Chains A and B, each alone.
Chain A
Amino acid sequence: MKRLISLVAVMTALGALAGCQNLGVQPWERDLLAKPVMTPGAADGLDDALDDHIYFSKEASSGGRGFGGGGCGCN
């Protein structure tokens, strides 16, 4: 299962990367993308970090958005 997930992840990343050359915008088309609200991880300020901390201590999952370690004795 672990290997399968790793394989799928790598294949998806490689496939996406190859296809990505046709995606995207020119530098002068970044008016909307340049806004903080369009930046994954930064759009909601401190909310993500606070949420990760809450859910790390109440659920058995962590990581994905960033690293999985919690730096917390709550779980």
Chain B
Amino acid sequence: MKKMLDGKKIGAGLAAATCSLLGQPAIAQDSTDAWQFDSAVLYYSEQDRVTAVEPVVRAKKQFQDESELEMKLTLDTLTGASHNGAITSDKPQTFTSPSGNSSYQVTNEVPLDDAFKDTRVAANMQYTRPFTRNLRWTGGLNFSNEYDFTSLGLNAGLLWDLNNKNTTLTFGVAHEADTIDPVGGSPVGLTFQSDEDKTDGSEDKSINDFLIGMTQVINRRWIMQLNYNLSISDGYHTDPYKIVTVVDANGDPLEAESFGANDIGAGDAQVFELRPDSRTKNALYWENRYHFNRDVLAVGYRFMSDDWGITSHTLDVKYRFQFDNGWYLQPHVRWYDQSQADFYKESITASELTSLQNSQGEVSADYRLGNLTDTTYGFKVGKEWANNQQLSLRVESFTQSGDSDASELDALITQVGYTFYW
């Protein structure tokens, strides 16, 4: 009996059940000699705004020594329009494009910058290896590049199995170095967009992450994971393409020329946003998976708070109906709620601008930093064959709602996935 339990198959199963490293756990497959390929194409489409097409392929292999290698390649193509930060007004507003070469005017609509176009390439690699009976180390590299942004990251971690492998503790650290090279230069915060006051050269940001996690088997049907994640970032956090509208007492856009700035058209009192140069985030994550006779319920909850004044709650529920012949149907509901950052303002008055300029205070009208409630609901349907091949389709509806017109957003998430062994 003992010999059989120590067998490789069960060993792999145990590792799969208990190991959940940084969200990238062990392979739980019998095909130990084959590479597992997970592939997917995500099609994300917002009404009137951004469309993203994102193909991903991930290759995983578990070796004889129970070490594991995982490589992932992601391509992300973005097109469409993105909110530029300005208010929605029945008076005309005039903006310049990010490059500063052209201007556009918007009335009665959410002001969108339609020059939004980018292609992102991301590559990740993660290697995990046991070095004692109960300890594994892991190390990883991440790289991503897009037109105006480059990110390089590395991580290291330790996984410690306890209590007959019913408990796994995870300790992880990660460092990410980002370089931002905005189109047309980095704008000087709180200056008028019409003045095109920008500096050449790139901006930097570094992020240090710490993660402590525990995965615990409760009983034969129930497994639980609890993570605490501290993320400290320093450097350039401002969105170089976002502006804030300066308004009068009626909430109508003012003119740049009345502040001594260049006149490029009506309602052109739009200043570049400015965010703090550091951010500390704390996140607690709790996931539960419960196996009924055939079906599986997964409930995840995250609490996050940061020193920008944002607090958020995320609830994620999936229920997998398992049918005969490998078919499954998985409805999914996600609910998200965040409170606004201390420096978020939908617009500012002339006197607020003066006091911000005098104190070099921060302000942003990016709706993603405002009060926000999001809901996602949809389903995934899939079929698994005896040789572990898997085909799936996911369709979800994503809705955002907040204090401003810009925050009202509807998007469709569609994804086709295919897993095979080779």
Q: Which of B172, B230, B400 contacts A58 (CB 8 A)?
A: B400
B191 to chain A, nearest CB (A): 22
Chain B, interface SS category: strand
Size range of the interface on A?
Answer: 35 or more
B336 touches A40 (CB 8 A): no
Enumerate chain A residues within 8 angstroms of B24, measured Cβ to Cβ.
41-42, 66
Give chain A interface residues in 20-42, CB to chain B under 8 Å: 20-21, 23-42
The reply to whether the CB of B17 lies closer than 8 angstroms to some CB of chain A is yes
Flag if A46 contacts B216 (CB, 8 Å): no
Contact: B338 with A5, CB < 8 Å? no
Question: How many whole Å from B356's CB to the nearest CB in chain A?
Answer: 21
Q: Tell me which residues across on chain A come within 8 A of B143, comparing CB atoms.
A: 71
Count A-B pairs with CB separation below 8 Å.
Answer: 272
Stretch with Cβ within 8 A of A (4 or more), from B85-93, B99-107, B218-226: B218-226
The A interface, classified by DSSP as helix, strand, loop or mixed, is: loop
Which residues 1-50 of B have a CB within 8 angstroms of A? 5, 10, 13-14, 16-17, 19-26, 28-29, 38-40, 42, 44
Contact of B338 among A2, A39, A59 (CB under 8 A): A59
Task: Decide if B69 is an interface residue (CB 8 Å cutoff).
Answer: no
Contact of B284 among A5, A27, A36, A69 (CB under 8 A): A5
| Interface presence of B266 (CB below 8 A) | no
Cα–Cα, bound, A18→B283 (Å): 23
In the complex, whether B188 has a CB less than 8 A from a CB of chain A is no
Residue pairs across A and B with Cβ atoms less than 8 A apart, 8 shown, are A27-B14, A39-B19, A39-B20, A43-B298, A58-B374, A58-B409, A65-B227, A71-B153
Taking Cβ atoms with an 8 Å cutoff, the residues of A that contact B are 1-2, 5-6, 9-10, 12-13, 16-17, 20-21, 23-51, 53-55, 58-73, 75
